[in-house]
Structure 1
Amino acid sequence: MNLCGEKVIALGELVGRVLSSAGKRVLLVPVPEGLLRLAGKFRPTVSMGLKPNTCESNDALSFLKPIPLEESIHWTAEGLR
């Protein structure tokens, strides 16, 4: 999965950067796609990891200015401290 924006970033990298910024340690383990699909049947939010891109066109929100990636990571990490 990739975030939208100027830079393509993998979900694992994003999670690692947010948790590192929050001062937390994490062990990321690759999971086969088939297992994610199965888990997604029981917990739909797991299926988000299978999407090719988290952004979908939303004209209603097109007026919002995108938040830079580093700022978003910092802001998210603050909530995890």
Structure 2
Amino acid sequence: MYVDKNLLLSKMSLRGYNISSLAEATGINRDTISNVLNGKTAPSYPVMNAIFYELKLTPQEAIDIFFSSNLRNTKVKT
């Protein structure tokens, strides 16, 4: 799963978070957040959920960050 790193970093910055402070606020390991941002690890549902609520994302913002580009590149078989 691809995460829109730039959009997520932008939302973090707008809310006053860096990787360490977001990790502390969500209870997610700092390395996990770093790995998600760097594309090394796909975020699990609990990680996405924690980030969604902590950053006060709208549903559309969450889709744009966590799903949008992945879905655009997926072909539907008919």
| TM-score, reference length from structure 2 | 0.28
Name the TM-score, length of structure 1 as normaliser: 0.27
**Which protein shows a greater Rg?**
1
